[in-house]
Structure 1
């Protein structure tokens, strides 16, 4: 069963009929999704050799059928290896979109693939201070996930950062949603500017002037600003997706892919690892 939660806040505003109508309109933008993880094996020419999915039996049968129908036909940009098969971690964001007849259509809405096989080619967090949970969000019982894009300099310090997307687990009016997205984003950015990273020392991008990493920051009342307790694997999560922002130093090609396909607690080095060439499909 999909999670349905209502955000009770700013009571005098929500009591207004116009505000209720606004909140209902926001609720209709809610998405039900599931994060599926595993590994993919890709031949040098970019065609699939095989894949494995974590905890396959825990997934609903329609999700199993969707993955089995689409993944064998995926193709990737050539790996650059003459003969070696690339084995990469993978996470998929499976989305259930409501249809007019009351049913749901399943799609793979986003994908994320692990970095290069050599850890020395990827950006990795060295020190990470968890953000403080904003008092206003904690008092209202608001939770969600902030997806950061972080520009990392050659000394391992943060040059710049933006909140690429903020997804909330509760709904309210547009005004309320913007307010709480901003609270969670600001708390994440304040913490991120103090983080330090291990930067690539080998590989084709070792001499780059900077690197870009995508990092999720999960807020819930059980773990302030850190990777809190998530839903059990194989269960649907209902949330309100926030608007997507762009960083001028990342660019559309580098920052491609879906932010919410990156698992909590991980760091994705943009521009490294496998790149999907074919459409994900539905």
Structure 2
């Protein structure tokens, strides 16, 4: 498959106290205009959200705050303290709770060298391989890097939704979203997404899992889990791998798993999940009721 005109994305984005970062794009040439307009530059902010019995947020602890631009820290903290959650209930009573947070902050181009930052998606999932109430890996074979993608110096991340049966084997799988760190024509981008998705799906069908043995989830006929699969070359960081570092990519469209009977929060984004984890898609994490920004 010929892949001409492909350009890797490189980003240098400096952001201090202001909320309008400047961005310089480096590369060997310009990619197709329609695809370039889809480029996002983002970083992930992690921390813990303290939820009160009425669902309000009383405190936000941000991980490694010193590694983050001050403007990002201010934006996240100012908005998170206005969030409202559905009260967390245990044994029929509302209780205080601490939820892990991974929040994607996106830089969007305005005009000239001016950019603004905004909150794009969040997850409150935590992966604990020893938790008997959650699905965890038993056997994980790494996928092969697609040959045509490797030759074209293409990179990306596939966000899988996997249906795990009661025997711990994969019953079905779908690529929910594929983000690319490469620029080409619309047709080339679609081919790259398919290459990466097919590779990840093929590998996932050989995986096996430890299924829940305790809690409400233990009685389910199957479990849906989300698993990020990253394809990187030359030690380039994937989305969220290097904390505090801006990453440029072209986000792909999202699709719903055909067997899914639950709907995600409007604020949820699969690309906030960390590589190497297994995340219960139907878990009972705290539900955010207000918008991420301006709520």
Report the TM-score, using the length of structure 1 for normalisation: 0.86
Change beyond 3 A, Cα 1:49–1:202? farther
Given the alignment, which residue of 138, 142, 145 partners 1:130? 142
Which aligned segments of 4 or more residues in structure 1 are displaced greater than 3 angstroms?
2-8, 115-118, 227-232
Q: Is the 8 A contact 2:265 2:288 kept in 1?
A: no
Q: What root-mean-square deviation, in Å, do the aligned CA atoms of Structure 1 and Structure 2 show? A: 2.6
Whole-angstrom distance in 2 between the partners of 1:222 and 1:196: 29
* Residue 250 of structure 2 is aligned to residue 246 of structure 1: no
Whole-angstrom distance in 1 between the partners of 2:173 and 2:235: 22
Given the alignment, which residue of 57, 77, 86 partners 1:77? 86
Structure with the higher fraction of residues in strand conformation:
2
Change beyond 3 A, Cα 1:38–1:157? same
Q: Where does 1:108-187 land on structure 2 (aligned, <5 Å)? A: 108-115=119-126, 119-187=131-199
Change beyond 3 A, Cα 1:270–1:116? same
Unaligned runs of 5+ in 2: 1-11, 14-23
Change beyond 3 A, Cα 1:152–1:254? farther
Q: Deviations over 1:234-280 (max 9, x none)?
A: 12111001111111212461486211111222221112122212111
**Local SS of the residue matching 1:73:** coil
Aligned partner of 2:32 in structure 1 is 23
Whole-angstrom distance in 1 between the partners of 2:182 and 2:127: 36
Given the alignment, which residue of 239, 242, 250 partners 1:232? 242
Change beyond 3 A, Cα 1:126–1:49? farther
**Local SS of the residue matching 1:80:** strand
Change beyond 3 A, Cα 1:103–1:65? same
Q: Is the 8 A contact 2:127 2:277 kept in 1?
A: no
Report the TM-score, using the length of structure 2 for normalisation: 0.82
Aligned partner of 1:12 in structure 2 is none
Aligned residues: 268
Whole-angstrom distance in 2 between the partners of 1:96 and 1:163: 25
